[in-house]
Amino acid sequence: MAGLQLLSEYGLRVDGRRPNELRQIRCKMGVFSQPDGSAYLEQGNTKVLAAVYGPHEVRLNRSKTHHDRAYINCQFSMAVFSTSERKRRPRGDRKSQEMDMNLNQIFESAIRTELYPRSRIDIYLEVLQADGSNFSACVNAATLALIDAGIPLKDYVCSCTSTLAPSQGGAPPTPMVDVNHVEETLGGPGLSMSTLPRLDSVVHLELSGTRLHLSHIDPVAEKAATGAADIMAVLDKAVRGHVAQCLHAREVSGQGADA
């Protein structure tokens, strides 16, 4: 990896993107029939499946029931073949548990939980291929799955990462959006932000990797926020497309008339 830089002298990143360019996002809602909601999302080469079960009655662990709102349960797992080096455990390690907790917090603040007292909503995420920004891809996929399940959200939850390329030849350092795996391993700070773009609120923010000078936080965070807003546009288009398709299918099969 010697000589590989976050940003080349021509202003291009290791995979040829510009600093403010997202990777291609492709997604599909309703990939499975058994869960109440499901979605598949590709962000470049990061591929995630999400499944949502609920809201349903709390069967096990009744102590976790809330009398005034729904209990949200998230589980993050990575397929053993998701990384180039074979993983030994798909879930349950420290990192996954931390992800579970963060996901819980994000969706507790995004789902209108007060509508479902004494119930439980399960959100399961499975990373099929990991190529950077896994957590963000999971949040975006979970949003689509929740919408597919018809669970009321305050807004789309959109997540995006950003980093900072060191300054070159006197120019100021450049913030870059949607970090891929190579860029993650090259070092530099990693900021992950989950927002409700239309409410203009941040529900989760995490900074990791090398330290970041205070004066750089603003531009890096702003990059992630714009990235999240751009992702919302993509998700919104996908949701509208999916709903139009469902409506069309109903009309063709003649179920729409009396429903």
Partner 1 sequence: MADILLSEAEKTFILHGVRDNVRNDGRSCSEFRPIELELGLVENANGSARVRLANTDVLVAVKCEIDNPPSNFPDEGKLDFFVDCSANATPQFEGKGGEQLAVELAALMSRAYQTRESFNLSTLSIIKGMKCWKLCIDVLILECGGSLIDAISMGTKAALADTKIPKVSVIGSDEGTLELELADEADGREEPLDWHHAPCLVTLNKLEDSLLVDASAEEEACCAAALIVGVSPNKKITTTSIPGHGSFLADSKIFARALNLAVDVGVKLNTALEAAIKKHQTLKPPPRGFLD
Interface with partner 1 (CB under 8 A): 26-28, 31-35, 38, 40, 42, 45, 47, 49-51, 53, 73, 75, 77, 79-84, 86, 90-92, 122, 124-126, 128-129
Q: Which is nearer to partner 1, 67 or 88 (CB)?
A: 88
In whole angstroms, how close is the CB of 57 to partner 1 at the nearest point? 12
Residue 203 carries which side chain, given as an amino acid letter?
V
Query: What is the maximal distance between C-alpha atoms in the chain?
Result: 68
Residue 1 carries which side chain, given as an amino acid letter?
M
In whole angstroms, how close is the CB of 52 to partner 1 at the nearest point? 10
Q: How far apart are the first and last CA of the chain?
A: 60
Q: Which is nearer to partner 1, 84 or 215 (CB)?
A: 84
In whole angstroms, how close is the CB of 163 to partner 1 at the nearest point? 23
In whole angstroms, how close is the CB of 237 to partner 1 at the nearest point? 15
In whole angstroms, how close is the CB of 20 to partner 1 at the nearest point? 26
Q: Which is nearer to partner 1, 32 or 118 (CB)?
A: 32
Q: Which is nearer to partner 1, 37 or 189 (CB)?
A: 37
Extract the runs of DSSP E, i.e. beta strands, from the chain: 25-29, 37-43, 46-57, 71-78, 119-129, 158-165, 174-177, 189-196, 201-209
In whole angstroms, how close is the CB of 75 to partner 1 at the nearest point? 5
Q: β-pairing, 37-43 with 71-78?
A: unpaired
Per-residue CA distances from 196 to 74, 106, 202 (Å): 19, 10, 6
Q: Which is nearer to partner 1, 77 or 163 (CB)?
A: 77
What's the token pair of residue 56?
């349903």
Per-residue CA distances from 257 to 79, 246, 247, 252, 254 (Å): 43, 14, 11, 10, 6
Q: Which is nearer to partner 1, 77 or 174 (CB)?
A: 77
Q: How far is residue 198's CA from residue 157's CA, in Å, rounded to a whole number?
A: 10
What's the token pair of residue 77?
């797992």
